[in-house]
Amino acid sequence: MVPASVKVEIDTKEMKNYIKQQLDKQIQQNLLLVDINKLSELLSMSPRYLEDTLLCDPRVKMHERRKNRKRWWLYEPVVKAILEIIDEW
């Protein structure tokens, strides 16, 4: 049996570019506003359940913003409020 030989060459410039791109992606994913669909996706809860249990709470309502009939919530404060509520369950 002939032993296998593996040679790996790493291009450090390409590796740095890749890491920079990944970091940029993560930084860009910081959210300012979320709608009910995004909250539903992030929390793995249905929009109906969110409406009935979380979004009616005054701690969450205070972070709601409206334009016409569309509703958004400020991301960071609403997540903190939701965590507070969930901790009480």
Q: Which two tokens stand for residue 53?
A: 């249990």
Which CATH number, 1.20.1740, 1.20.120, 1.10.10, 1.10.287, labels domain 31-87?
1.10.10
pLDDT in tens, 25-81: 776 667 788 899 989 988 899 999 999 999 999 999 999 999 999 999 998 899 899
Domain chopping of the chain, boundaries: 31-87
Q: Could you give the dihedral angle defined by the CA atoms of residues 25, 40, 31 and 84, in that order, rounded to the nearest 10 degrees?
A: -120
With 0.95 as the threshold, say if the pTM is over it. Answer: no
CA angle 44, 30, 41 (to 5 degrees): 15
* 9-39: pLDDT as tens digits: 888 888 888 998 888 777 666 778 889 998 9
Residue-level pLDDT at 12? 87
Q: Give, in degrees to the nearest 5, the angle at Cα 72 between 70 and 77.
A: 165
pLDDT computed for residue 27 by the predictor:
66
Q: Two tokens at 74?
A: 């400020």
Res. 84 pLDDT band, cuts 50 70 90: very high
